[in-house]
Amino acid sequence: MTPRGSTRLKIWLVVVGVFVLGCATGVALDSLYRLRAGGNDRHERGGRRGDVFEKMKSNLNLTDQQGTEIRAIIEQSREEYRALRNETSPRFDEVRMRARARIRALLNPEQQQRFDAETAERDARRGEGRRRER
């Protein structure tokens, strides 16, 4: 191999090495960002689902019966969301409001107040996220 060919090979190896390191760094930083952001990616919510229910159960002091029924409502709503993803114009708000009404009906007045406050806070955060995306 000529000295010129050897130099070109070295340059290409350096370029490929920098590219590979850049990709690895990008993947690592993306993973770190997602961990710090709390896994807001829709595909990562699987780990969060139980956390949301457990937080609701603890904050509202749900009875075992309420917990069982609310968990069933949440799972049914999840199935409806999955079905809506295949439609051209999703009706996610309709499903969310129907599930909230069913959950609220199971709660006592004190629990309803806390549930309403938490859902209002969640809606406010959701609204802020939508405004930022635009």
Confidence check: pLDDT of 44 > 50: no
In a domain, 41, yes or no: no
pLDDT of residue 107: 93
pLDDT of residue 86: 63
pLDDT of residue 134: 43
In a domain, 10, yes or no: no
Which residues constitute the domain of residue 116? 48-123
Number of domains in the chain: 1
In a domain, 69, yes or no: yes
In a domain, 4, yes or no: no
- What pLDDT digit, counting tens, does each position of 4-36 carry? 888 989 899 999 999 989 988 988 888 888 877
pLDDT of residue 32: 82
In a domain, 79, yes or no: yes
pLDDT category, 111, cuts 50, 70, 90? Answer: very high
In a domain, 109, yes or no: yes
In a domain, 80, yes or no: yes
- What pLDDT digit, counting tens, does each position of 61-104 carry? 888 899 899 888 888 888 887 777 766 555 777 888 889 999 99
Judge if pTM exceeds 0.85.
no
Confidence check: pLDDT of 55 > 70: yes
Please spell the DSSP secondary structure of 32-95, one letter per residue: HHHHHTT--SGGGTHHHHHHHHHHHHHHHT--HHHHHHHHHHHHHHHHHHHHHHTSSS--HHHH
- Cα 78 to Cα 36, 73, 82, 84, 100: the distances in Å are 25, 9, 6, 10, 13
In a domain, 15, yes or no: no
